[in-house]
Amino acid sequence: MAELRAELVELLPRLRRFARVLARDAHDADDLVQTAIERALAHAGQLRADAPLAGWMFGILRNAWIDEQRARGRRGRVFAAAELGEQVADPAHGAPLETLAVQDAVARLPQEQRLAVALVLVEGLSYKEAAHIMEVPIGTLTSRLARAREALQAMLGERDGA
Amino acid sequence: MTFSDETLNAYVDGELDAATRAALEAAMTTDPQLAPRIARQRALRAQVRAAFAPVLTEPVPERLLASVRGAPGRAGNVVAFQARPRPRWSWPQWGAMAASLIVGVLLGPLLLRPSAPQAPLETSGGRVLASGALAGALSQQLASSQPPGAPVAIGVSFRARSGGYCRTFLLREAQPLAGLACRAGPAWQVVALAQSELPGTGSGYRQAGSALPPAVSRTLDELILGEPLDAAGESTARAAGWKP
């Protein structure tokens, strides 16, 4: 267990990044990470010795995110585009414009496409690993990824002059 | 032969099987549309990755460290053991990266070569620097006009997010090595190095692609700002002594 905790500490920066792609808002993202850690420690016995911890944790975090989205839906708290716009304009964040534009474009993707982007483009996982975490066939993953790329390019294209 | 967007995506994601990859790379030399399509996908991948990269270097909130320790609510406790993660590397700190990204390569024989040809690498202050013919090629050789079979082949040159220039290279040793070096003052620091699966032939595009070993192409994705330099950009950067 001590070993698991040490590995989790090492993994925290990547978990936070993964959650940030999904949830956008830094506080919401850290809430997701915290939920995932608590679930992981409660079910540590289910981690197979030969399975990579990162993949297992991404799966737990993904499930926590989906649960959270469903709960939000039930409460009627769905992100509106205007709400996203306000976050982009938040000067306290201080990130370069291009970074904000990309984050904003990713946040506008449908959930399943955003997940594919987070796992493959940001985390650099293989198609096989990503499809396993998303619990879909590889063909489904690649078509979501292709649609996500088209959408991102359409949203970002004007800025690049491409 | 035409290639679907999904095939190009798979190429950029390093997921193509060897046969399709070879066919695609061969087509790139004859189809002028192909390389820009691939470059666009590669740039998008790098752009998305870069947009979220800063999260890695943010300090991790104490509440998350506490939940890993299984002691929520004891935030005021003195942290007696090294629970806080080491800060991750940031763009200018090539040095911290060097050791971890040299994958499956025995450095000893490359550093300690007793006689000619001169060793291609040297260490300085814990960093791995290019030396001898490798350093010369990184400073002088242009991917657009390099002799076939030269001891070092230059792949792509690009501007890193930190502002400086970096170049990928193939070292035609008995066991070919592919790597990525970034300009650090007057020297070239080798920030990634791995065994190459390719024979040391082919044009710049071959090495520009996913044919690079994963450790090297991942580093490229992490560092690159925008798209690789074209032949004119490469030439201009060389004329400026690779000063940003």
Average pLDDT of the residues of chain A: 83
Q: Kindly report the nearest CA distance between residue B222 and chain A, in angstroms.
A: 10
> In chain B, which residues have their Cβ closer than 8 Å to the Cβ of A153?
40, 44
> In chain A, which residues have their Cβ closer than 8 Å to the Cβ of B60?
12-13, 16
| More confident position, B215 or B161 | B161
> In chain B, which residues have their Cβ closer than 8 Å to the Cβ of A109?
none
pLDDT of residue B108: 58
Contact B10 A14 (CB under 8 A): no
pLDDT of residue B203: 42
Q: Kindly report the nearest CA distance between residue A52 and chain B, in angstroms.
A: 18
Indicate the class that CATH gives domain A1-78. Answer: mainly alpha
Q: Domain limits of chain A?
A: 1-78, 109-157
3-state secondary structure of B44: helix
Q: How many CB pairs under 8 A join A and B?
A: 101
The verdict on whether omega for the bond into residue B36 sits within 30 degrees of 0, i.e. cis, is no
pLDDT of residue B205: 40
> Residue A161 — very low, low, confident or very high, per pLDDT cuts 50/70/90?
very low
Task: Give the pLDDT mean for A140-146.
Answer: 96
Contact A152 B6 (CB under 8 A): no
For an interface test with A, which of B12, B49, B68 has the most A Cβ atoms less than 10 Å from its Cβ? Answer: B68
Indicate the class that CATH gives domain A109-157. Answer: mainly alpha
The answer to whether ipTM exceeds 0.95 is no
Residue of A nearest to B217 (CA): A124
Span A10-19, pLDDT tens digits:
999 999 999 9
Task: Give the pLDDT mean for B200-211.
Answer: 43
Span A26-72, pLDDT tens digits:
899 999 999 999 999 988 888 877 778 999 999 999 999 999 888 87
| More confident position, B128 or B73 | B128
Tell whether A130 is within 8 A of chain B (Cβ): no
Q: Kindly report the nearest CA distance between residue A121 and chain B, in angstroms.
A: 6
Q: Domain limits of chain B?
A: 89-244
> Residue B238 — very low, low, confident or very high, per pLDDT cuts 50/70/90?
very high
Selection from A63-77, A129-143, B67-81, B187-201 with the highest mean pLDDT? A129-143
Average pLDDT of the residues of chain B: 76
131-150 in chain A: CB under 8 A from chain B: 142-143, 145-146, 149-150
pLDDT of residue B114: 52
| More confident position, B149 or A144 | A144
> Residue A79 — very low, low, confident or very high, per pLDDT cuts 50/70/90?
very low
The closest CB to that of B85, out of A10, A30, A142, belongs to A10
